[in-house]
Amino acid sequence: MSEQEKIENRYRQMYDGMVRKDGRLLSEVLDDSFVLIHMTGMRQSKEVFIRSVEDGTLNYYSTAHQEIKTEIHGETATLHGKSIVNAAVFGGGRHTWRLYIRMTLAHRENAWQITEAAVSTF
């Protein structure tokens, strides 16, 4: 598997962990320094994000990935992803969102770890 494929796989794994409410998988793919920046500007640390997924504050039901582009810069990388996501978050109703994520990753101990994800719509 190429480095680009490994990075794209991390993106897919993150969404898979979100849909399955799999804190263990999320913990594996997210770096300890991870920060999620919601479209509102709210920031969540790795611990708070995983807990919010597990406790149902953030509910993700399905994802369909439309576009994934990566740029590798040595031991760091940037990923730009567009996905259709069905979710209900922060007590709101269930909706389908067209989400764009700009993600940064770092190569740590022979694996790519997601260090930041900034979300907006497209």
pTM for this structure? 0.95
Domains in the chain: ranges and CATH: 3-121 (3.10.450.50)
CA-based end-to-end distance of the chain? 29
**What percent of the chain has pLDDT above 70?**
100
Q: Which SS3 state, helix, strand or coil, does residue 82 take? A: strand
Mean pLDDT of 5-12: 98
Position 33 scores a pLDDT of 98
pLDDT tens digits, one per residue of 101-110: 999 999 998 8
Position 11 scores a pLDDT of 98
Tell me the backbone φ, ψ of residue 96, rounded to 5 degrees.
Answer: -105, 125
pLDDT tens digits, one per residue of 57-71: 999 999 999 999 999
CA distances from 3 to 34, 94, 99, 105, 112 (A): 20, 35, 24, 12, 9
